Every structure is written in C-alpha cells, then in structure tokens.
Amino acid sequence: MKIGLVSHFRPHDLADLLDERSRRLLPEINGVSATPVTPMAREWLRTGHELAIFALDPSVSLPYHLRGEHLSIHVLPKRSTREYLPDCYREERRLIREAVASESPDVLSAQWSYDHALAALDCGLPTAVTCHDAPLRCAWIAKHWHMNYHLLVAWRVIRGADRLICVSPYTAGHIRRYFRPRASVEVIPNGLPGEIFERGARRLERDTPLRQPYTVCSVGGWGTLKNVTTLLRAFNRLTERKDGARLVLFGPGLGAGGEAEQWARSRNLQAGVEFSGSVPREQILDFLESEADLMVHPSLIEAHGMVLIEAMACGVPVVGGGSSGAVPWTLGEGCAGFLCDVRKVDELAGAILRAREQPEQERRALTLRAWQFAHDSFRIEDAARANAEVLKWMTTSKDKE
C-alpha cells in the first residue's frame, strides 16, 4: 500500500533512509518536529509500505523533494500567520494538493486536525485524520486568539473526515461530545520503538539508586497549557528545605535567558533550576536513561503525552495531572505513576516529595510496573499495524463503491 502522510515533519529524522542528493539538501531545511509521527513512518517503511510525506515548513521559500527507497518527502513552504489567516491556508493547501497528485498514494493519513488535515481533505482521496489533541479544551485553557482560529479549522476538519483516529479514550470522548463527527472514531494510542524500551531495560537492570542531587526533569514549553510556572513554584518548596534537589527543564522558552528563566528570576524561583531549552530528542532520552530520578509533567491537558510514555519506557517515575485529559489513562490510573492536582502548588510539591521519599523497594516496583504497562500498551509495532489496518480498510471500501 502506498500511504500519503500529511503532517508536520522533520526530514532529518529519516536522514539514514534518504539518498545522497537528498541528504545534501537537509541543511537548507529546518523541518517541524512531530514526535509521534516519525516512529510511525519508520515502522510503515520497515513493514513494506511505500510512503510519501507532505509537510509544510515555514523555514523554506521553495518546495523541496527528497527521496529514498520506497520513500518520498515533499517539504513545502508555509507562509507567515498574517498571510495564511485571511485565506485559511489557500496557498498551502494548493501546494499539498499538487504534491499529492504527483505521488498518487492509495490513501492519506493526516496528522492533527489543522492545516495539514484541511489540505488532505481537499485531495479527494480516502483520508483518515489522527486527532492528537482536544481542540476545544486547549482553546478554553489557553484563551488565545490563535487557538480559537485553530478550533474553527479543527471543526471543519473533524466534520469532514472520512475516518477519525484518536490517540486516547479521552480524546475520542472529547471529539464525539463537542464535534459530533459524521465519521467513525477509533482509538489508537501513540507508540514507541523498541530501542527506547531497551533504554529502560538497561536502567532497570543496573538498579540505579537515587542520585545526589536528586534530579527532577520536565519536558514541555512555556505557556499556559504546559503550566511550568506551577512547577517552578512547587520545586522552590523543595529547595527551601535545603534538600539539594535539581530541576532540569527542556523545551521551547525554557532555555537559558528565555521566558521561563526571566519569569523565575523576577520571583526568585531560579535556585536549583537548569534551563536547558530545546535540545534534540535523543539528548532528552539520554538524560532520562542516565540522569533523571523523576519526570514531572505539570501540563493542564494532554491527549496522550509522548514525554510521559518515553519516561516510563526509560525507567523513570512520572508525576502527572489527575485531571489533565488523558494523563491518568496514560499512567494506568495511578498504577504506573503519581497523580495529583497540578494546578495547586502544594499538591504538586507534595507529589514530588512522595516520589523522592518512597522506599527503594516500592520505587523499583512502581518503575517496573510503569515500564511493563508502557511496553504492553504503547509499542510502535502495534500502533503502526492498527493505523495501517484502518487505512487498508478505507482503500478496499473505496474500491467496492
């Protein structure tokens, strides 16, 4: 089957699969990271599918076409916000339509329910849209005009999709309740490749004791949704105890001199905090395997947080929000991690303290349980196969019509 994948994408993540000419072009392209999508693309290629990827990228001004064996990647220009807002991505949609027509895939898999999915629906091919978030809830929490604009786009996409895939039961419930889709909705979680689980297996085999200083990490970004301000306040409660803890922050706006550090310094909350900012995913995975004692994810809403399952797969205990969308489901309703009200400083600080003071035997049992839960529930082989089955069904049902 030839699958057209319409999504944010970073071609560098498949550099080893590209031909020499295409690899030479990579320095001219930034790409837009799509953490759940890359392992899916690799798994589809590994299992014998042909893959054509269509990705919008604001870093390029002209289309790029990269190639590999059974692989084609179209990187297409994306205009500035003030240019695409008035015409609802008209130029971007045209570019994607033309690129899709040049490849003639059997079916389209559109990721997220926004610009890429809107363009995919224009192509006239069977299209499954994967919903990676809860648009109305995100817009309500963020209260930002851009999120409201994307909410309108999501409404149009979800109502027009041939088939909808949601990455968690929470997301599926949100989509069904607030968008009343015409298409059927299926739940297929995100997945991780085996090498990430191998990191956790190595760590668990070493039976690593807690480090000094105790190292807490968080992967997210600056803004209302990710709620890093509450984490900084909660962590400060620990540093006031002179416990020698360390907090390492990864993500946009969380780097040295960035918005998070400026905010923290203005409130004297920077003690023990390392503002590491945006770094390659592999570097975060290395940190989880070798340095982290605890992952804290204070996000107010998650459809199915990749950082949570990556931490679990790497053998790192997790603290997440008990009312943060799909976080409780992702953490096995508390069997595979610590749940608390991440909106409250005292509760978040208490959860971090409980994780730190947990007896060694209980800590190891929780970590093993979390690793096994993630391994059983969130493997990329299962996710890719389930997605491919949906896409194959769409092509065969189209043929019968």
Residue 255 sits at φ, ψ, to 5 deg, of: -90, 175
Is 231 domain-assigned?
A: yes
Q: Band the pLDDT of 154: cuts 50, 70, 90.
A: very high
CATH number for the domain that contains residue 131: 3.40.50.2000
Domain holding 328, by residue range, is 194-377
Is 144 domain-assigned?
A: yes
Say if residue 254 is exposed, middle or buried (CB neighbours under 10 Å; 0-12, 13-18, 19+): buried
Per-residue pLDDT tens over the stretch 352-366: 999 999 998 999 999
Of 222, 236, 306, the closest CA to residue 273 belongs to: 236
| Mean pLDDT, residues 1-10 | 96
Rounded Cα distance, 109 and 9, in Å: 13
**Share above pLDDT 70 across residues of the chain, in percent, rounded to a whole number:** 97
**Would you state the structure tokens that stand for residue 73, as one six-digit string?**
């990647």
CA dihedral sign, ordered 392, 108, 67, 306: negative
314 and 384 inside one domain: no
| Mean pLDDT, residues 84-92 | 94
Average pLDDT, the chain: 93
Per-residue pLDDT tens over the stretch 217-257: 999 999 999 999 999 999 998 876 656 789 999 999 999 99
| Mean pLDDT, residues 308-322 | 96
Is 345 domain-assigned?
A: yes
Flag the least confident range among 35-44, 132-141, 178-187, 327-336.
132-141
159 and 206 inside one domain: no
167 and 265 inside one domain: no
**Would you state the structure tokens that stand for residue 85, as one six-digit string?**
């807002």
Is 93 domain-assigned?
A: yes
390 and 314 inside one domain: no
17 and 154 inside one domain: yes
Number of compact structural domains in the chain: 2
**Share above pLDDT 90 across residues of the chain, in percent, rounded to a whole number:** 87
Q: Band the pLDDT of 57: cuts 50, 70, 90.
A: very high
Is 274 domain-assigned?
A: yes
231 and 157 inside one domain: no
Per-residue pLDDT tens over the stretch 99-128: 999 999 999 999 999 999 999 999 999 999
> What single string gives the DSSP state of each residue in 53-118?
EEEEETT-SS-EEEEETTEEEEEEE---HHHHHHHTSHHHHHHHHHHHHHH--SEEEEESSSHHHH
185 and 224 inside one domain: no
249 and 373 inside one domain: yes
* Cβ(308)–Cβ(320) below 8 Å: yes
* DSSP annotation of 11: G
For residue 156, pLDDT over 50 is answered with: yes
237 and 111 inside one domain: no
Per-residue pLDDT tens over the stretch 202-227: 999 887 666 678 899 999 999 999 99
184 and 207 inside one domain: no
For residue 400, pLDDT over 60 is answered with: no
Cut 0.85: pTM above it: yes
126 and 29 inside one domain: yes
332 and 371 inside one domain: yes
The owner of tokens 């409780």 is 328
Is 401 domain-assigned?
A: no
